[in-house]
Structure 1
């Protein structure tokens, strides 16, 4: 296999194998979205990009002894599926005046610096990184509807703040404070403008975005502003009936969307966040079920309020259930 060097970063998400249509021909394809929020689609037999990729210059490191790559690969058709930069001047959240002021003060007090994607963490400066250490995309990966020729993937915009400081060993540098998610005082509300989590439908014939919708709500947000999108861990599945099922969000919801349009058609609140990928199966009663594990936890630090696997199915006309 010929390899195209696109894996500069934490891959983590499982690759998606499918058959693409390129200029009327069927091509064996592999797609992967990494924590960078960039979606790459390659011919899985040759390694050649199905949608064009270009090397672009990225910021270099200012840490002594550290040499970062001067370029990184970028898809030219599919835009980033998530936030890849932050501007202190224009991008601080406006969800509420109080949250805006709290975030602005936190950023100023710590003299944080911004930068585009692939900005290396600075020495003795608090660096705001988008995507953060959790993505972008994460281990849940993407799903594919062959009838729609649509790749569906959930991502989030959970930024990270990090500072490098001299270390007493064994490494020359270590993380200084503050270091963590881009939110003050462990708040569930984030410091950048939303959406904070999204579900995307990407046309695998053209590589273009067909639709995107916020994924998740912030229950503590003001009325009329709750549809913020939420940080999420876990993947989605698509069904032959034209539905996409996804849990993943830290708002404890499990949802179904129309795959063709991204319109939410069903939602249920669980006892804990479903940081998992759903499964679907046929029961002995002939009905189709969809099941999800909901326990909370993960690197999103969702409360561990349950330990259940819940299955759902349409009511049976014969049994009345």
Structure 2
């Protein structure tokens, strides 16, 4: 394969995917509405088609004018989007849909492709835009990929867990980096052993390309760090990359209530462990970035940006009340 169309391509996962494809010799075209700054503006290696991916005529025009070998769908949030795209790009050598670990519908450790059941998706959920139905819609997209493969289309899914790294506009990891950078005591909900599998963004990008090149039609592939750490271990790793010392202070629901905080108010906290098996992807030759290296790049990116995640997690004043309660014990 020589040519690629990336639907999206300018914000986070898509941006890193374009870089990865360029590094591996692809001619790349991005398709988006132009609502966000284009980091590839002026780069003659990257063409751009403007349009709304929910408009089928836009996709049809891209299919005929770009004529890509591989299509990477970074912004398909509804099953109808996947049904339309797999049909329009049926003649391409590969169509890769970005699904999500949220598509899994039961709690198992680890969650495995083809083994762990997916979320159901009602007709109402399929057109909903609420956060609560995100996993349902992603699962329905996965089923659309399988249906396309049954029709002879080489369509595949990649399921990342929580993605982090440079240019992460969600600021989930930035909130924690900011805490470690500014304070010598960091409150962690629970006992610190919470595990929510994370995936370094450059590894997600390489996974998408490798699945396009070597994946099997109709199959899904999980992607996440090959080495997992607990939330408390993540804090320690961030502190190491910031060359600072920090005390991890764990707090249960009762202690957090002193600051009117619930454990789930914390980003990257999940009561039940969320772990994805990545063996199937690794069998295609994919490798993950060493965790220390990935975190160093994430920290460096944070320090060079104005991201702090302050709109997402508990405020420090509330945490100080919690710390005050804990200090009396």
TM-score normalised per structure 2: 0.30
Higher RCO, Cα 8 Å, sep 6+ = 2
TM-score normalised per structure 1: 0.30
Q: Which has the higher helix share?
A: 2
